[in-house]
Structure 1
Amino acid sequence: MNDILLIGEVIDVIGISTKVKVYEEKNTARLLYNGKVIKNIAVGNYVKILKGYTEIIAVIEGEYIKEIKNVDSYSKHTDTYSRILDVKILGHFSQNKAFVKGVYETPMISNYVYVLQEDEVQKIFCFTKDMEPVIRIGNISGYDNYKLALSLQKLFASHIGIFGNTGSGKSNTLAKVYTELFKSGLNYEKSKFLLIDFNDEYTSEAVLVIQKKVYRLDTRSNTGDKYPLPRSVIEDSVFWSIILDATDKTQRPFLERVLKSYKFYKIRSFSFTDVIRVIHENPSKFNKVKTETTNVLQKIYGGNAYDYERIFDDIEHHSVGACLYNREGGQYFNTIELLEDYIKAKIEDLGCVDIFDPIECQSLDPLVLFDIVLNYKHVYELLKGYSNDEHISPMIKRSEKRINEISRVLEFKDEIQDEMAIQVVSISNCNIHMKKIIPLLICKEAYDNQKEAPKGSKSLHLIIDEAHNILSENSNRESASWKDYRLEVFEEIIKEGRKFGCFITIASQRPSDISATLVSQLHNYFIHRLVNEEDLFTIRKSVSFLDKSKQEMIPILSQGQCICSGLALDFPVNVQVDELADANKPDSKDINVIDLWKP
């Protein structure tokens, strides 16, 4: 070994922690070797310890100086200082000169320590096999000539976490990772990539890839796109429990009864007589459901709600006759035919014609049919005494707004044609309630569909930017049962999804807001600058791959720099992620207030 690369020797060994004394003449920033200027040792760099024929590789975690007293009888006292390195064993070079992670042997005192040569550095940072598809995302910090190459298999067949404060480069890293995948030349058409975009950052044409389907959902108007879901979703009581914030003991059982009626009517017709019959059979309770009845008629036949309210102005219950009674005309409605003819005549007087034919429910939009059945079932059960209005009415009132919002952002079909492999769902124009619901519904349906696919036939990759918005366990805006259900769905995906070919990538500014179960179950991490103590504690607790020195670096990482750690690497590595071209960057850049404020 050339003595130029010899920089010191081992002076202390405690487990895998080793101390190295640096020779005084080697305390320089650069060394000249074979006509090349190479970087000398520094914190974060790697060294080689020669123990006989074994070459042990260690990383420098810290350094300090140690004062050494030098006393002899012929001269005055002189103090000298030695530079001491704290290094940690990472692995060793095998007989074929391949780097092997893990402690094979520990050094001995007085073993020589060397700076790594260029070919040795390449072997240490080689985390992939020969001819294996890889992506390169940036330069390794401290070794700027080396790009970090990550195995596509080890990275994308895993759950990924990308964390960092605003402005740390988190969005650029997320875009860079998937941009490199889509540029790799592999055929990813057998997979589905579904990106939930909270801030409209990934909708531009050149971001990620040009060939993608973008859904711009909007709960505030009817001009937005609609995300397609199977019609079967509408027949799930859990779906409606989520949408309508239904309580478990009263409202959810009612919804299950509504869905039974929905399944009955969806293959039949809905008749005007259906509404009149239930009114005629329960005249004593009619005054309590006048408003609800007019609401049902309006939903079936359209028109003005005020006009329908006038239909029943003169109808009341006659207690002696035990039937409905028209006080203006003195008419008793002893038969359903009399009541039906009267109401039809009143509707015709209001200018509504040809509305009494039975409605073929197969031709109705599924949401419209559900809305009709929901309100009809409400009237029916109130008249029959099957449910308590105080329990059901709050949910019925919520349904008006919620069903309208759902109709603006989702559409339900019997068959969904194969969509493009890469889909971006932008929910920046959705209200807060729907921002929590829509990602859950879309991801759950995609995951359920993936579970039904033959194993190995396709894969699903869920990508959630700003994941703390829907994966938080500290939210106070929702009921405990709804929050538990939301977290349970995503926790099932992250625990069980891998065996079904479903993988999730989450990016967030606040890892401490995300369920600890989700953070701890991730396989690969890209950790940018984090300064909040709660976030740092979450990383320390959840990311077992990080040593103390790497943890201490997290608050001082520069923009774009991150610590990569996980199953795709043998050990944590600091990387300066390449910045994407302006056209390919997510739209997450801060506005220029100086330009904004110029006179």
Structure 2
Amino acid sequence: MTSRSAKKLGVIIAVDGDIAQVGMYEMSNDTEYLWYGDVLSGVKVGAFVTINQDDVKIIASVVSEKIIDQQNTIKSKEFDNRYNPNSINRIVQLKSKGVISDGKFEVTSKFVPMIGNEVSVTTKAELGVIYGISKAIARIEIGNSLLEGQKIELPINQFFASHIGIFGNTGSGKSNTLHRLFIQLFRTKHKQGIIDSGSQFYVIDFNGEYTSAGQFAIEEAHKKVYKLNTRNGGKGDKLPILQSYLFDADILAILFDARPATQVPFLRSALSLWNSSNFTGQSFTRFVVGTLKAILKSGNDATADSIDNWVNVAKKYVDEQLFDNLNKLKYNSSTEGYEGVNGFKYINKNTEISINQMKVLKFDKIGSQIIDAFDGMGEMQKLKMHLEFQKVHVSAWKSTNIEHINPLFKRIEAAFDALEKVVEVVDIKEEPLPYTTLNVISLVNTNQEVKRVIPMLLSKMIYDEQKRDVNGGKPKMTKHLIIDEAHNILNGSHHNVGDDWQDYRLSVFEEIIKEGRKFGFYLTLSSQRPADISPTILSQVHNYVIHRLVNDKDLQMLENTMPTLDRASFRMIPMLGKGEAIITGNALSVPTLVKIPKEAEHRPDSDDVELTEVWTRSGKEDTEKFQKVE
């Protein structure tokens, strides 16, 4: 449309930087105009208007409005004619957003409003340029602009090849938005390319909202839902995790809540030995029986209870009667060695243990049963067995106080019991990992230890895998990590308080969000409490979808970390309705107020509970039961 065909609203009467004032031609406050067959948004706070300057159209948004009384120039309240219809004028304040030049919208300070420039209503064609994306650019539809009803599309490359933040209070619609973003992506013609390239999407679902069939509009053959469960016997799915990542000192220190001064060094040493030894049943047995032999030969250099400690561990895996003769050994201070019954020759540091002595002590049978026990275990139980014998080994010669380590093993027992219910340990030879295009990991039925560790463990594993695949070249496939309720694991309030695991937890995700883009690894965070997320992580987000937020700390955090959000849009955040959001970031030219629709059928299991419906249904069921009894 030409400027001549646009409805004239007023003229610029004052300019102060990017803020301009418009003297309106009429006092009309119509919410909409019908103009040349189009219904256009009226002049109201948040709406766009067009400032005409030769062939350039400066696009501005309304930030405030007021009226002035021309006859009441001295502001007297005594004049009867104050605010006379023939005396008052409407003044609207505008903030420049960008310009339309040569049919394209761009953010620039090259053109600024000038006194005398006419202001007109922004037409549908101009809105299309502001919000629009070239038809040649791949895009998805996310919803409609709230004020104008204009279709809003997001460019796939600029939006999804970035880190995304979705924030809003409970019930504001953020779960629906997260789902809609990716369901719209999978509805495009690029879905088959996503599948064929081997690109993968991982959804960390703390509340079990994304597990239903049909969600994300992707065939079940390319979707895997892992419903992890540490409750009721743990009859749930198991998540494939590489052994090298699970059996990592930093990860296990987190899982076991190991104390930094005493227990973490023990774990590091024991795991270093474990990972370097590649134990089999035979080699492991040689090592642990060798510990017992060394204790016997050490005399009083070893602690008095070291043999008992070794036996107490071994009893878990060996028939108890095999230790009868071993239990009869007594320490003789004169020979500085151990003696038995029935003429058993003493053992000390100056003698070797004879074949007959090993036979009397039943080392061969004990060793055989340890071999069988070890070879018949799963990987986690093998490691647990190794840690138990390592505790004996490091404490036998007084280099470590066993009392400092003992409390750790109660937590090891509980942690491994939980992990065995949710994790399948995969040997490194079995790479690539058996994940598919879309992987939903539901943690709703897991305990706090698993909720804390699994997201970090999975994230680091798939991120390192992506780095290895890229290896200095261009990514041939991408990985997208989507974390719902991200404040659960990205809380920055405990950072740098002295505990190694807390620093490690955040350092993993900080590396991902700082370096991930160049490897084709992208993070999407959804949270009702952005203020609880580490500022370092939040500052690296490139595109935001902001639903209603009212907490001052959350709003302040967003204000400090969102350079693309203008003041007028920021003030609207606490007033947004359900499903309404402000989208801003690198993918859009201007912050955009959008109404995001719900999916009619397949949507997250996050709808508000209708209490009257529940109570009505329950009452009806009770009535039916009563009638059956009668």
Q: Same fold (TM over 0.5)?
A: yes
1:205 maps to 2:210: no
1:394 maps to 2:411: no
**Paired position in structure 2 for 1:115:** 121
**Paired position in structure 2 for 1:317:** 331
In proportion to residue count, which structure has more strand? 1
Aligned ranges 1:158-307 → 2 under 5 Å = 158-186=162-190, 187-189=193-195, 190-208=198-216, 209-211=218-220, 212-220=223-231, 221-262=233-274, 263-267=276-280, 269-271=283-285, 273-274=289-290, 276-282=292-298, 284=300, 285=302, 287-289=304-306, 292-301=309-318
Q: 1:59 aligns with which of 50, 58, 61?
A: 61
* Maintained 8 Å contact 1:315/1:326: yes
**Paired position in structure 2 for 1:93:** 100
**Paired position in structure 2 for 1:134:** 139
Q: 2:453 aligns with which of 437, 445, 448?
A: 437
Q: Secondary structure at the match of 2:235?
A: coil
Q: Distance in 1 between matches of 2:485 and 2:323?
A: 47
Aligned ranges 1:444-593 → 2 under 5 Å = 444-454=460-470, 455-475=474-494, 480-582=499-601, 584-593=602-611
Change (3 A) 1:290 1:69: farther
Give identity over the alignment, percent.
Answer: 34
Change (3 A) 1:57 1:446: same
Q: Secondary structure at the match of 1:143?
A: coil
Aligned-residue offset at 1:577: 0.6
Q: Distance in 2 between matches of 1:297 and 1:76?
A: 102
* Maintained 8 Å contact 1:20/1:84: yes
Name the stretch that deviates more: 240-249 or 212-221: 240-249
Q: Secondary structure at the match of 2:189?
A: coil
The total of aligned residue pairs comes to: 584
Q: Distance in 1 between matches of 2:411 and 2:498?
A: 15
Q: Deviations over 1:540-582 (max 9, x none)?
A: 1111111111111100100000000000000100000111124
Q: 2:111 aligns with which of 81, 102, 105?
A: 105
Q: Distance in 1 between matches of 2:330 and 2:398?
A: 19
* Maintained 8 Å contact 2:62/2:93: yes
Q: Distance in 2 between matches of 1:555 and 1:307?
A: 72
Q: Distance in 1 between matches of 2:324 and 2:419?
A: 30
Q: Distance in 1 between matches of 2:412 and 2:89?
A: 75
Change (3 A) 1:219 1:310: farther
Q: Secondary structure at the match of 1:200?
A: coil
Change (3 A) 1:357 1:380: closer
* Maintained 8 Å contact 2:226/2:440: yes
Q: Distance in 2 between matches of 1:210 and 1:308?
A: 58
* Maintained 8 Å contact 1:276/1:340: no
* Maintained 8 Å contact 1:280/1:339: no
Q: Which runs of 5+ in 1 are unaligned?
A: none
* Maintained 8 Å contact 1:562/1:576: yes
Q: Deviations over 1:135-166 (max 9, x none)?
A: 1111111111x221101100110000000000
Q: Which amino acid aligns with 2:297?
A: E
Q: Distance in 2 between matches of 1:585 and 1:312?
A: 65
Q: Distance in 2 between matches of 1:299 and 1:500?
A: 47
**Paired position in structure 1 for 2:623:** none
Change (3 A) 1:81 1:282: farther
Name the stretch that deviates more: 57-66 or 387-396: 387-396
Q: Distance in 2 between matches of 1:379 and 1:26?
A: 87
Change (3 A) 1:336 1:512: farther
Detail structure 1 runs of 4+ shifted over 6 Å in the superposition.
306-312, 360-363
TM-score by length of 1: 0.89
Q: Secondary structure at the match of 2:30?
A: coil
Q: Which runs of 5+ in 2 are unaligned?
A: 348-352, 620-630
Name the stretch that deviates more: 379-388 or 569-578: 379-388
* Maintained 8 Å contact 2:251/2:453: no
Aligned-residue offset at 1:256: 3.1
Aligned-residue offset at 1:201: 0.9
